[in-house]
Amino acid sequence: MTRRVLAARAAIACLLLAACAPAADPAAVTTPEFSVTTMPVTPAPAVTVQVLVREREGWSTEAISRVAGRDDIAAVRTLRSEQIGLRGTWDETGAQQLELPDRYMVPLDARALDAEEAAAVGLAPGTVVLTTTGAIHREVGTGGRMQLTFKGNDLDVVISAVRGDPRSGSSELLVHPDDADLLGFDPPSSLIVTLTQPRDLAAASETADAIERVLDDGFTRLLIDDGGERSQPLVLSLPATKARFGEFAFEDRAGTRDISMGVTWERANITRLVVPVLGNVRCHVAIMEDLTAVMEDLVAEGLDGEIDRSRYAGCYYPRRTSPNGSLSHHAWGIALDINVDFDVPGGGEVPHPGVIAAFARHGFRWGGEFPTPDNHHFEWAGLVDPPG
């Protein structure tokens, strides 16, 4: 299990860019202009250091209490999030704004508040809080309705408020804990642990190690706040991915983790190109320049022999990461797998350091740094340290 403290400061400029999906395909989603009145957001209190602690099997109430009881921890907040589906939306007049073919859905990242948080924002069962960007994108606001789906469970909810987009994180929708139970959300997989002040990076790492000794191994920790500055995530959040590379509607293929999507988005965004080293690749058009530059660097540095073309496993592949899991970034054509050991999925040899460095220079993150290491995986996430 990889444990890393990330302290990168770079912002992802691509969040300001938007990809457009034509409206001709019923499974493609458009982004009409729409104004909303946002709910005031109470600024979060300033903190010195926060640490994200992720438990693959989910956090039990007892384990959360043990973490919260430490003297060097000021507060603990649970993150119970899932990537769910949106089947339709209606504005406050009842007019349908998003209508999709049967079984199709748009992916959304939703977070379940705990009971205390829900009470603080006045969120009742059957209601949700939508982000400003989500409200504009869906052409709905307060009083509108949404039909959500997850694990085969459908739920109609009313938008009780629209609030500003979060400073970081991926939640497009906040739901009541009772509704999360109805939809089938798993137990919270992550905690945001606020350390007592004053703390520094070394102390944050020591505290995370101490938590590990108390709870045993099995989780990953990532620094997410130092002096008020957010670190760059390992991968793009779903909202950032959709903003940069476009949004599509899709349906699951029964019995597999593969998905089907409308052809309009694919035709507008996925392309084929012959690049050095790898040959013919099929990826999102927006990453082709960076991918080509990576391969040209490898040739120039004499590292092209470190990649075995016969073990290249593709880039664009519409699928989930697992049944009921989130969509893989392969579904957007922004991730690729090289030197794949087909007998050890996600495992196999670690790439040459020069290969990892070449990908990093052009915005690709290596899957070996992920909470669940994936040695043959690289995906575009933007530059950590833009040249300057």
Structure tokens at 367: 């899957």
Tell me the CATH number for domain 270-380. 3.30.1380.10
Q: What is the pLDDT of residues 41-78, one digit of tens each?
A: 444 444 346 677 777 677 888 888 888 887 778 888 88
- Average pLDDT over the chain reads 79
Sign of CA dihedral 182, 188, 194, 200: negative
Cα(377)–Cα(367) distance, integer angstroms: 5
**Phi-psi sector, 293: left (phi>0), alpha (psi -120 to 50), beta:** alpha
Condensed to tens digits (0 to 9), the pLDDT of residues 195-230 reads 776 545 566 566 666 555 444 433 444 444 433 333
Domain ranges in the chain? 14-189, 270-380
- Residue 3 confidence (pLDDT) above 70: no
Tokens 């939640």: give the residue.
Answer: 171
pLDDT over threshold 80, residue 39: no
Top-confidence residue, 92 or 171:
92
Distances from the Cα of 164 to the Cα of 2, 97, 121, 258, angstroms = 33, 21, 13, 34
33: enclosing H helix or E strand: none
Q: What is the average pLDDT across 112-132?
A: 92
Model confidence pLDDT, tens digit, residues 264-322: 999 999 999 999 999 999 999 999 999 999 999 999 999 999 999 999 999 999 999 98
Dihedral of CA atoms 268, 274, 275, 280 in degrees, nearest 10, equals 90
Single-letter code of the amino acid located at 331: A
Quote the CA–CA distance of 87 and 99 in Å, as a whole number: 7
**Among the ranges given (26-35, 175-184, 198-207, 379-388), the one the predictor scored with the smallest mean pLDDT:** 26-35
172 with 148: CB under 8 angstroms? no
pTM: 0.78
Q: Which residues of 330-363 are buried (b: 16+ CB within 10 A; e: fewer)?
A: bbbbbbbbbbbeeeeebebeebbeebbebbbbbb
Contacts by 328-331 with C-beta closer than 8 Å and gap 24+?
329/235, 329/236, 329/241, 329/379, 329/380, 331/250, 331/259, 331/261
